[in-house]
Amino acid sequence: MGGASNFTASTTGISSRMNDENVKRVLKKKSQSVGEGNGDGHDRKTAYTKNRKALGEISESALNSRMTEIRNKRADEATTEIYKGKETEDEELSDSENRDDLTEDDMDNVEEEDEAEESVCYVNEPMSPIVRIKEYKEIARAYSRYSRDTLDPDDEDTYDIAMVAEYGNEIFNYLHKLEIKYAPNPHYMEEVQTELVWDHRSTLMNWLVQLHSRFNLLPETLYLAVNIIDRFLSSQTISLSRFQLCGAVALFIAAKYEEITVPTVSQMIYMVGNQFNREEFLVAERFMVEALKFEFNYPGPMSFLRRGSKADDYDSEIRTLAKYFLEITIVDSRFVASPASWLAAGAQYTSRRMLGRGGWTQAHVYYTGYTADQLDPLYAVFVECCLSYKKHHKAIFDKYAQRRFRRSSMYVQEYLKTYYSEK
């Protein structure tokens, strides 16, 4: 198609168009690690070209052997040492008023990783929930207890026409099918892309979070944009120079699908540093839409989080903290093809543990569809990511350090500081 050339043409690198200084710094380190250069776009491109040439000299058998070794790693391998021999008792948290009063000065004593280190990038086997007979039986027990053939007169959702309680189970059964249907290829970086690596994706996602916040868009828009990017890259090979354009176009499409008021084409072009004109942007949009066959029905984790929140009586503190953990997942390659329902349940489960709100009840199992044993691996990974937030998700941390998000990210650091001070 005519738009293919617009995604594959070679121009300057992605780093030359990112406006955020932190993002530029990270990309500068990446470019210097593959060759010599003075930091400008030309030298980065030259270094990268040299690196690609060197990679081409590696034997195919050696490369395949290495990829097999990487893919055979367990998804929770990185967290094994962290939790070996440790007790995981929940800590009681301070009230919301104290949490809102946290400042940057309060974080001085929290152990932080060296900013000079490179960003975290995982190539582990993608994570997915364990499914055993034990879990099936536990879910069946929860379903038999809470499932009803008639509407519950004591449930306030019964009288809310917007909740369509009479079709709730059928709706979410359908959404579970969609999350599988629209899952991207978890190995597309190794199998489809030639110029991109997972570190590039992580950098793009941090930038996308900033762009999403600047336009004040809905959470659903962000997750749909991420899904569009991953599905597109699962089938189309693009150059590094067009990677940021890919992210901007995906967010633009997602905004059209989810928002009432969407950013203009001019605004989107400005956000990518005016490196592309209006025609290039629109051609890229048409190409992406056609490549995905106009299918944008991906059910993001927010729908499942709202469903699970019913078991918590829609507790706002739990949901806000859960949103932070959910956004963490978009920068980590281990979650590229993970079910959105599982990630939402894991975020809720982790929030409850850190907020000291008790165990995972049968009601939670019923409304989320997952047991505590299925969510424990996610809790471990979330903690691991938060321990190295400056390398893993700095933009997301800064976003959720704001008062409107109850300073959730800062609270997590205080929780971890308290927890590890007792070991």
Same domain, 9 and 33: yes
| Residue reference for tokens 């969510």 | 375
What are 212-252's pLDDT values in tens digits? 999 999 999 999 999 999 999 999 999 999 999 999 999 99
| Residue reference for tokens 């048409």 | 286
The CATH code of the domain that includes 346 is 1.10.472.10
Same domain, 275 and 255: yes
Residue 117 has pLDDT above 50, yes or no: no
Same domain, 233 and 343: no
Domain final residue, candidates 261, 291, 321:
291
CA distance linking residue 171 with residue 253, whole number of Å: 24
CA distance linking residue 224 with residue 208, whole number of Å: 12
Domain final residue, candidates 271, 291, 311:
291
- With vertex at residue 259, the alpha carbon angle to CA 308 and CA 249, rounded to the nearest 5 degrees, is 105
- Predicted local distance difference test score (pLDDT) of residue 423: 56
Domain final residue, candidates 224, 259, 291:
291
- 230 located within any domain: yes
Same domain, 327 and 382: yes
pTM above 0.85, yes or no: no
Same domain, 365 and 268: no
Same domain, 279 and 191: yes
Same domain, 410 and 313: yes
- 91 located within any domain: no
Q: How many CB atoms lie within 10 A of CB 71?
A: 14
- 198 located within any domain: yes
Tell me phi and psi for residue 97, to 5 degrees: -65, -45
Residue 110 has pLDDT above 70, yes or no: no
CA distance linking residue 232 with residue 291, whole number of Å: 7
Same domain, 253 and 382: no
Same domain, 353 and 336: yes
- 381 located within any domain: yes
- 63 located within any domain: yes
**Helical residues (DSSP H) of 110-242, grouped into ranges:** 133-146, 168-181, 188-191, 198-214, 219-233
What are 345-396's pLDDT values in tens digits? 999 999 999 999 999 999 999 999 999 999 999 999 999 999 999 999 999 9
Domain count, the chain: 2
- 322 located within any domain: yes
What are 9-51's pLDDT values in tens digits? 433 344 443 444 443 443 344 344 433 334 343 343 343 333 3
Same domain, 271 and 331: no
- 387 located within any domain: yes
Structural domain that includes position 227: 4-69+184-291
Burial zone of 282 (CB within 10 Å; 0-12 exposed, 13-18 middle, 19+ buried): middle
Nearest C-alpha neighbor of 200 from the set 119, 126, 270, 285: 119
Same domain, 312 and 278: no
Residue 75 has pLDDT above 90, yes or no: no
152 pLDDT band (50/70/90 cuts)?
confident
149 pLDDT band (50/70/90 cuts)?
confident
Same domain, 218 and 239: yes
